Amino acid sequence: MVDPRPFDDRDGWIWMDGKLVGWRDAQVHVLTHALHYASSVFEGQRAYNGEIFKLREHSERLHKSASILGMEIPYTVDQLNEACIDVLKANNLVDAYMRPVAWRGSEQMGVTARGSGCHVAIAAWDWGKYFDEAIAAKGLRLDIAPYRRPAPYTAPVHSKASGLYMICTLARQHAEARGYDDALMFDWRGQIAEATGANAFFVRDGALLTPTPDCFLNGITKQTVMDLARKRGVEVIERAIWPEELESFEQMFITGSAAEVTFIREAGPWNFEVGDLSRQLAKDYDDLVNGRIANT
208 CB burial (10 A radius; 0-12, 13-18, 19+)? buried
Longest dimension (CA), the chain: 56
What is the identity of the amino acid at 181? D
Q: What's the rounded Cα separation, in Å, for the pair 208 and 205?
A: 9
Q: 19, 54, 160, 231: which one is catalytic?
A: 160
Q: What's the rounded Cα separation, in Å, for the pair 290 and 296?
A: 13
- C-alpha distance from residue 142 to each of 122, 186, 259, 264, 266 (Å): 31, 12, 14, 8, 6
Q: What's the rounded Cα separation, in Å, for the pair 26 and 197?
A: 26
- C-alpha distance from residue 60 to each of 79, 120, 174, 222 (Å): 11, 14, 33, 16
- Is 160 among the catalytic positions? yes
**Strand partners of residue 200:** 254
Q: Which residues are catalytic?
A: 160
